[in-house]
Amino acid sequence: MKKTIGLLLLPLLFFACADDASGDAEKARNVSQYTIEQFVDNKQIFGGSFFPDEQSMLVTSNQTGILNAFRMALPGGELTPLTHSDSTSILGVSVFPEDNRFMVSKDVGGDGNEISHLFIVEEDGSMQDIIKSPEARGGLFRWASDSKSFFYTSTERDPRYADVYKMSLDGYQSEMVYKNDEGMDLTAISDDEKFYALVRAITTSTNDMFLYDVEKGERLQLSPENSKYSYNPQFFDHKGEYLYYLTNEGGEFNYLNRYKLADGSTEKVHEYSWDIMLAYESYQGRYQIIGINEDGHTAVKIFDMEKGGKEVLFPTELNGQISGISVSRSEKLMRFNVSNAKSPSNMYLYNMESGKLSQLTRTLNPEIKEDDLVEGKVIRYPSFDGLDIPAIYYKPHQASASNQVPALVWVHGGPGGQSRIGYSGLIQYLVNHGYAVLAVNNRGSSGYGKTFYEMDNRNHGEADLDDCVWGKKFLASQAGIDSSKIGIIGGSYGGYMTMAAMAFRPKEFQVGVDIFGVTNWLRTLRSTPPWWASFRDALFEEMGDPYSEDSVRLYNISPLFHADKIQNPIMVLQGANDPRVLQPESDEMVEAARKNNVPVEYVLFEDEGHGFQKKENQIKGYSKILEFLDEYLK
């Protein structure tokens, strides 16, 4: 599932090599500095569901300042608004197979509260919510193969579990086709609707997989009893012969396997020395597509099944990693995104018959020169115990031995997330203004092997925190870095690591920026949203059960209860609608830290959740972060 751990025996030599590899040998130069308004003015365009005539697509964009649904012309890329919200984000989901109706999703009762509903938008623009209960969540599961109905999920019956319903396109009559009363989530449906694939979480890294025969009403466990591996069903093939699934059974990395429905035999299809992250089949089954998590970026492979599985080669002029691939129903067109650290994701259209490639979007603000931005470099550094820690290093162009700059250790969310090569407006904004950033993938991060992923289980805030401290030591060893001016920043679980560093390693980092981070594990784990029920036990298995004797350890690793140890300035950003990290958690953390007479900045957004989507809030939040760093770090 993830990369095998390696030990580094020559840390001093590694630091010297990393210094050159990360760009310190390059000549320093000055660049234009851009405002946060200029960075936020980059366009965000994603999604891409083809309308039936394949002359346009349904996409989502924030060009109005908030996410709305648009029709994108093909191949020109011109956008026409389809929704006009100025308060709540609306995401385009999918177009109906045979007419111009489409679906969108939006949160009800407050942007960012994650109580999302699925809406049908009629051709006259009227909109109807198919999730009737305001407290329930729901979304599109998949289209039926006959194009006359679709499957969707809803928690209306039981807020803990998502049932699956089938709704006809004519009259919108629905019926429940899968009742989830055991915490087994439906993950795939065969085209003939005779078989379902189900999963049940055991831990955050292991689960059971089942095959449900609809006609017989029988459920067969496909994963071994007491398995220690993960199983992730991806799709039933178009011919109805196989169930394709990802697993790391017997090894470290996810590979693509298939189960033959006729006789129960299994066969390995694709395997690499990295995780396969995703796999799917185009509408008529001609193309199979896989995505590989290759050392912090996604490599995509496409196979033409009509040509014996021959790999389809992408145009060589593309610069960046490919993601978000979708093939039209005719299988003549393919849309996908290309991104790199210096440019937000751009959308492309590829004609599979003619081989013509069209760039549909140019999302980087034309006022910003791409050469002024910084490409992230994948590096590795040794931690306190010699463990090899992957990271992505962003070094300002102006940094040099004679012009040292302050730096930040950046910690991703999770637990179990991963910092990856790709565009981050906040990172580029900070680097452009003279801050080096090291985005660490501490032990417990995904993408580097099952063993590495499980190394922080019941060990959070300890060894993984020391990985961040040793990331600081790596930064301090770099010629262009002022070793006396290094801070730490992160969101969600990364926000927890930030506050843990400030409370439990109070002398290591000069400042800390906590973006909606956990500070009280007892409250967070006891107040998980009801729709996390099928995953809650697995989360408790990794973090600890707050209703058991584990509560002692959870108390001990919660920064809120150790705020008296904080010595250096901190900043906290929080969304009032956040259902994962509740606002009182940040309120109490700020109040406790202020008792130490250290500078504490608190930025609260009344209309955001676990992440800031509105441009005006991004401008306010990101500019406040830079102001805070300029005052207390630079």
What's the pLDDT tens digit per position in 143-172? 999 999 999 999 999 999 999 999 999 999
- HSE value, Cβ hemisphere, 13 Å, CA-based, for 634: 15
For residue 450, is it within any domain? yes
Q: Which of 317-326, 373-382, 387-396, 534-543 has the lowest mean pLDDT?
A: 317-326
Domain of 29?
17-37+368-520+558-632
| Residue 322 β-bridge partners | 338
CA pair distance 170, 295, nearest whole angstrom: 47
CA pair distance 456, 204, nearest whole angstrom: 12
Residues with Cβ within 8 Å of residue 397, at least 6 apart in sequence: 28, 29, 30, 31, 372, 374
For residue 412, is it within any domain? yes
For residue 417, is it within any domain? yes
Instruction: Please report which helix (H) or strand (E) contains residue 428, including its range.
Output: helix 425-432
Nearest partner of 440 among 489, 403, 405, judged by Cα? 489
120-125 average pLDDT score: 96
CA pair distance 255, 235, nearest whole angstrom: 14
533-539 average pLDDT score: 87
- pLDDT averaged over every residue in the chain: 92
Q: Which of 439-453, 524-538, 569-583 has the lowest mean pLDDT?
A: 524-538
pLDDT digits (tens, 9 = 90+) for 414-431: 889 999 998 999 999 999
pLDDT for the residue 26: 64
For residue 229, is it within any domain? yes
pLDDT digits (tens, 9 = 90+) for 261-279: 999 999 999 999 999 999 9
Residue 488, token pair as written in the block: 């730490």
Beta strands in 237-375 (DSSP E): 242-247, 255-260, 266-270, 275-281, 287-294, 297-304, 310-312, 321-327, 333-340, 343-351, 357-359
pLDDT for the residue 11: 28
pLDDT for the residue 249: 97
Residue 184, token pair as written in the block: 């087994």
Q: Domain check: are 377 and 247 in the same one?
A: no
Residue 506, token pair as written in the block: 């109070």
User: Does position 477 have pLDDT exceeding 90, yes or no?
Assistant: yes
Distances (CA, A) of 199 to 180, 185, 360, 544, 598: 11, 5, 38, 22, 48
User: Does position 1 have pLDDT exceeding 80, yes or no?
Assistant: no
487-498 average pLDDT score: 97
Q: Which of 19-33, 229-243, 251-265, 347-361 has the lowest mean pLDDT?
A: 19-33
- HSE value, Cβ hemisphere, 13 Å, CA-based, for 624: 20
Query: What is the CB neighbour count within 10 angstroms for residue 473?
Result: 17
CA pair distance 385, 452, nearest whole angstrom: 14
Of the pLDDT bands very low, low, confident and very high (cuts 50, 70, 90), residue 118 is very high
Of the pLDDT bands very low, low, confident and very high (cuts 50, 70, 90), residue 52 is very high
User: Does position 3 have pLDDT exceeding 60, yes or no?
Assistant: no
Percent of the chain with pLDDT over 70: 96
User: Does position 16 have pLDDT exceeding 60, yes or no?
Assistant: no
pLDDT for the residue 629: 98
Cα dihedral sign, 281-424-490-463: positive
- For the ranges 269-278, 524-533, 608-617, the maximum mean pLDDT occurs at 269-278
Report how far Cα 503 is from the mean position of its chain's Cα atoms: 27
Q: Domain check: are 252 and 391 in the same one?
A: no
3-state percent breakdown (helix, strand, coil) of the chain, nearest 5: 20, 35, 45
For residue 528, is it within any domain? no
Domain termination site, one of 259, 291, 315? 259
395-411 average pLDDT score: 97
For residue 96, is it within any domain? no
Cα dihedral sign, 521-527-528-534: positive
- Whether 150 contacts 166, CB under 8 Å: yes
Q: Domain check: are 243 and 375 in the same one?
A: no
pLDDT for the residue 13: 28
Backbone angles phi, psi at 313, to 5 degrees: -90, 135
C-alpha gyration radius of the chain: 25
Can you tell me which residue has the tokens 């693509």?
A: 256
Of the pLDDT bands very low, low, confident and very high (cuts 50, 70, 90), residue 17 is very low
CA pair distance 158, 154, nearest whole angstrom: 9
Domain termination site, one of 259, 278, 310? 259
Can you tell me which residue has the tokens 């109040």?
A: 591
Structural domains counted in the chain: 2
**Span between the terminal Cα atoms of the chain, in Å:** 40
For residue 564, is it within any domain? yes
pLDDT digits (tens, 9 = 90+) for 341-387: 999 999 999 999 898 999 999 999 999 999 999 999 999 999 999 99
- Whether 277 contacts 270, CB under 8 Å: no
- For the ranges 105-114, 287-296, 311-320, the maximum mean pLDDT occurs at 287-296
Q: Report the CATH number at residue 501.
A: 3.40.50.1820
Residue 170, token pair as written in the block: 């004519």
CA pair distance 220, 89, nearest whole angstrom: 41
Per DSSP, the three-state class of 169 is coil
Domain termination site, one of 230, 259, 288? 259
- HSE value, Cβ hemisphere, 13 Å, CA-based, for 571: 25
For residue 618, is it within any domain? yes
Residue 278, token pair as written in the block: 């995703």
CA pair distance 462, 226, nearest whole angstrom: 29
Of the pLDDT bands very low, low, confident and very high (cuts 50, 70, 90), residue 9 is very low
